[in-house]
A and B are shown apart, each in its own frame.
Chain A
Amino acid sequence: MLELTDVHVEYEMEGDGSVHAVNGVSISLEENKILGLIGESGSGKSTLAKAIIRLLAKNGHVPEGAIEYKETDLTELSDREFRTEIRWDEISMVPQNAMNGFDPVYTVGNQIVQAIRTHEDVSKGEARERARALFEQLGIDPGRIDDYPHQFSGGMAQRAMIALALALDPSLIIADEPTTALDVVIQDRILQTLRDLQQEIESSVILITHDISVVSDICDEIAVMYGGRVVEHADVETIIKEPRHPYTLGLRNAFPDIEEDDQDLISIPGTPPDLVEPPEGCGFAPRCPFATDECWDVTPEPEEYGDGHVVECHRADEQELLTEEAKRKETWMDLETEPQQVAEEADD
């Protein structure tokens, strides 16, 4: 249904140079699936989502690549076509902070009614009925439809935002960290609602988050982003249980799991790559304990290992060894000193 081919996104910076936030992403999403997009801040996950729904900041653009949605290349549509035919009708978005998503001077119901009526030819009463039904589905008292956004709690506002996103039965919903600011009880409730509704209306969802446990809870597939590229993509089971990319292995180590009793947390040393001048070779090489000379010099191409499991790593075929080694704290510790030595030498 959605097919990205070699998508690049750049932000022009003041002065010269540009930030290559997304650096050649090819990924496809089938109908009726939830795709989890995970990565750290600066990995390009939000940028990619905004590029799809064309909500990039003014200085951002897509210089290369195709975003095909139901056989139309979205990058070739004019802004006007995109606004009237795609956004909200076909693809909608749930932003991170719902409070900012609503206009504070209109009631929540009013904004949903307006959204429906700009895209569909229905009466005010009909649109209102639909808004009330949506509220009900999302577990908000329909009586509160005439409340202003500030009268809602954070969790309620987020649910109302989902209601707005679902109002036109889109086939694709992009949710950008929809529960990051919320408490676990509400987070759980919202994620379950999202999952239930997604199955009910048979749409697809792209869920962007930095929380690996959130994606594994409700997603069908996971794409791991690093330095503007998707470094590993597979179904949830595979990513969690048999990851092949060292970054995915590292993330897994760094995350405290409530199920484990005696977990040794291991962080990934170093810092995310420079996106202004992306270096040659694999973007993760400077932080990777398994990097070889090849990794520093040649950018790995995506390769498929088994059913839809795509990895961008020269050593992905050595899965067993990597998995074993990655569990040891020393593997990652040894590396911690090296880049600094290099930096010091450079200083001299």
Chain B
Amino acid sequence: MTSPKIEVDDLKKHFKSNEDMFTRLFGWGEIEYVKAVDGVSFEIEEGESFGLAGESGCGKTTCGKSLLHLHEPTSGTVSFDGREITDPAVRDEMNFRTEAQIIQQNPYESINPRYRVFDWVKEPLDVHDIGSEEERETRVIETIESVGLNPAEAYMHEYPSELSGGERQRVSIARAIILEPSFILADEPASMLDVSVRASILDLLDRLQDELNISILYISHDLSLLKHMCDRIGIMYLGKLVEVGPATQVINDPQHPYTKALVGSTPTIDPDDEREAVELKGDIPDPVNLPPGCRFAPRCPEATDECTVEEPPMYETGDDQQARCILYDEEQMQTIRE
């Protein structure tokens, strides 16, 4: 059996929330941790698109960036083509930075304002010293055109401030694919764009994924978009995955009460559509002091006393679909019913 493209195992990223000079230099005082990512495991197959969804603050972006090693994970492992990239020696050896790239959310800030399009797209080639200067230029022009900025000459001398949001996002995509990576992290790639442009950017990503056989991790709060773009989806709540499964299945038939609430809250275009609204109590709790047991229990409409005892594991709920909810524990449900 071939190993998956990416395998994330019990990944944790805790940020120190109150560190100051005295704790840093002399170790005085007690440090509190924000558990942004708190034990996440999933796999992404080659050529697959996987979506991470959840509300802001659920840790989806931190998870993606830890996976790319833009954050040093606190614990857990990430394997890339079966090799543990949490080890810096392995990262160096496989030239990890040429294999995995990122497309960021905000096209208005993700391009250095002092760089022209040409230099910005070319920089990865400079950093990794690939090809001669002429070869680099040819390749940059080809890449700029392959993301739909035609003709390249019309764009490459521009500063980002002279481009529209959609054009900037295309430039970011060009920079991400110029090294022909096998994995891309797309962090809300279309959320800042206008509706009519959004579709064309998503289309472009879809096309490039097919052509270059890239695995993509989409991060978004927009379930409609993820359903459209992804093969599989994982729903995160307070640093943990609560449900994973095939995209259509998770959205059309959510199992975890939190997923149900998210899907129920997503507005639909059809005005006749009466969705079952799931009322959630309160706001998301503070990720420093997590509630005992299931972290969703305090807001869950279906919570029982059992829920606050122990953190539930992932249960199989259907074809390749898992949910972290005690409702799917046969034994537990048996005893509750009795």
Contact = CB atoms under 8 A, between A and B. Distances in A.
Given A40-B196, A256-B225, A258-B224, A213 B267 contact: yes
Interface in A176-219: 183-185, 187-189, 191-192, 210-214, 216-217
A258 B263 contact: yes
Contacts of B272: 237
Interface of B: 55-56, 150-151, 164, 194-200, 202-203, 221-225, 227-228, 248, 251-252, 261-273, 277, 280, 283
B296 to A, nearest CB: 12
Given A183-B56, A185-B262, A267 B197 contact: yes
Interface string A229-256: 0000000110010000000001111111
A156 B198 CA distance: 29
A174 to B, nearest CB: 20
Given A255-B195, A265-B199, A184 B262 contact: yes
B195 A210 contact: yes
15 contacts: A156-B283, A183-B221, A184-B262, A188-B264, A216-B267, A217-B271, A250-B196, A251-B196, A254-B196, A256-B225, A258-B223, A263-B228, A265-B203, A267-B203, A340-B150
Interface centre among A184, A266, A269 (most CB of B within 10 A): A184
Given A212-B269, A216-B270, A259-B269, 15 more contacts: A184-B267, A188-B266, A191-B267, A214-B267, A237-B272, A252-B269, A254-B195, A254-B196, A256-B225, A256-B227, A257-B270, A258-B251, A259-B268, A263-B228, A340-B150
Contacts of A121: none
Interface of A: 40-41, 153, 155-156, 183-185, 187-189, 191-192, 210-214, 216-217, 236-237, 240, 250-261, 263, 265-269, 271, 340, 344
The 3 closest A-B pairs by CB, nearest first: A267-B200, A267-B199, A188-B265
Contacts of A271: 164
A267 B198 contact: yes
Given A153-B283, A261-B248, A340-B150, A256 B228 contact: yes
Contacts of A240: 269-271
Given A185-B280, A213-B224, A266 B265 contact: no
B217 to A, nearest CB: 18
B252 A261 contact: yes
A216 B271 contact: yes
Which has the most chain A C-beta neighbours within 10 Å: B55, B223, B268, B271? B271
Interface secondary structure of A, over-half rule: helix
B228 A259 contact: no
A257 B271 contact: no
Contacts of B222: 256
Nearest to B54: A183
A211 B252 contact: no
A269 B166 CA distance: 11
Contacts of B283: 153, 155-156
Contacts of B197: 267
A61 B12 CA distance: 54
B198 A216 contact: no
B149 to A, nearest CB: 11
Nearest to A183: B55
Contacts of A191: 267
Nearest to A252: B269
Contacts of B223: 184, 258
A24 B291 CA distance: 56
Contacts of A258: 223-224, 227, 251, 263, 266, 268
A265 B267 contact: no
A86 to B, nearest CB: 31
Contacts of A211: 195, 267
A217 B267 contact: yes
A271 B222 CA distance: 24
Contacts of A155: 283
Nearest to B263: A258
Contacts of A156: 283
A153 B264 CA distance: 22
A188 B248 contact: no
Contacts of A340: 150
Nearest to A344: B151
Contacts of B150: 340
Q: Which of B164, B196, B222, B273 has the most CB of A within 10 A?
A: B196
A204 B252 CA distance: 35
B265 A184 contact: yes
Given A216-B270, A265-B228, A253 B55 contact: no
